[in-house]
Amino acid sequence: MAAQWENISLDRSERPPLGVRLYEGPCRGKAPPLVLYLRGGSFLDVEREERERPIARALAEAGAVVLEADYSSQSQNAFPKVLDYAFGALNCLSSRRKQLGGAKSLLLVAGEEAGGNVAAGVALKARDLLPGELDGQILLSPMIDPMMATTSFRQADSIGMRERWSDGWAHYLASARNFFHPYAAPCQCTRLSGVAPALIVTAEDDPLRDETVGYATRLRAAGVPVRQHIFPADFGWTGIYNEESGEWLDVLCRQFAGFVQDLKH
């Protein structure tokens, strides 16, 4: 059965409700990992879509319970509202841990591209405000460096993303003071210790490769356990920016399963 959108209230404030949808697969165990999923879209895609997201569905088929949060519609992709809604969704998922999974279910946040940025920001905020609640973060080519000046980023033109990412950053940050906020641009964060363990994925031909690998390196240096996978060039990974699936999806699910096992040991 396809996942359907519903609106939930995050708290007792006047803030509008958040759109979410739940993905479940046939292989659910007694305590499946619970994953908050945040889609890409370069901080420009505001309207939610009815079609399912390939990554969210694949993780559910791999045994997770996945909650996709529509962080864009109400926030209009502006910081800090984006983080407020995404963090509220994490709180909601955490409070429903026993209902959706089990007392021992791992709590994870995942996202690709712009959603990877938000996932990294949520992980940092969870460390600061919900210590011990978040078990892991899954960052799939996270869009975390507003400078856009890495060597790999020169390939952005080849997949038609340079202008889109530039416009997305300008829209998301809006004010110059947000440029250096660690929750808005996690690569600017100078204190990474204590953040949740990470699964970080990119590809050799990915324009966001260098910032992704750089963040993984800095996490490790801060003592954060990191599982990293870099797909070879021409494996189809950059299709995530067009929300396409491919042969990389099975590999990603295996990496996810390995990451979950790492967290359990």
Tell me: the pLDDT tens digits for 49-70? 888 999 999 999 999 999 999 9
What is the DSSP code string of the chain? ----EEEE--SSSSPPPEEEEEE--TT--SSPPEEEEE--STTT--S--SSPPHHHHHHHHTT-EEEEEETTTTTTT-TTHHHHHHHHHHHHHHHTHHHHS-TT--EEEEEETHHHHHHHHHHHHHHHHSTTT--EEEEES----TT--SSGGGGGGGGT-HHHHHHHHHHHH-SGGGGG-TTTSGGG-S--TTPPPEEEEEETT-TTHHHHHHHHHHHHHTT--EEEEEEPTTSSGGGGGGT---THHHHHHHHHHHHHHHHH-
The mean of the pLDDT values for the chain is 93
Per residue in 69-103, pLDDT (tens digit) is: 999 998 999 999 999 999 999 998 999 999 999 98
Confidence check: pLDDT of 16 > 80: no
CA–CA gap between residue 12 and residue 159 (Å, rounded) = 44
Q: Would you state the pLDDT for residue 179?
A: 86
As given in the structure block, the two tokens for residue 61 are 């088929």
Per residue in 117-137, pLDDT (tens digit) is: 999 999 999 999 999 999 999
Q: Would you state the pLDDT for residue 13?
A: 56
Confidence check: pLDDT of 106 > 90: yes
Confidence check: pLDDT of 176 > 90: no
Total structural domains within the chain: 1
Q: Would you state the pLDDT for residue 1?
A: 64
Confidence check: pLDDT of 6 > 60: yes
| Whole-number Cα distances in Å, 143 to 59, 63, 128, 166 | 21, 27, 22, 11
CATH number at residue 80: 3.40.50.1820
Per residue in 29-50, pLDDT (tens digit) is: 789 999 999 999 999 999 888 8
Q: Would you state the pLDDT for residue 141?
A: 98
Domain encompassing residue 180: 5-264
Per residue in 245-264, pLDDT (tens digit) is: 899 999 999 999 999 999 99
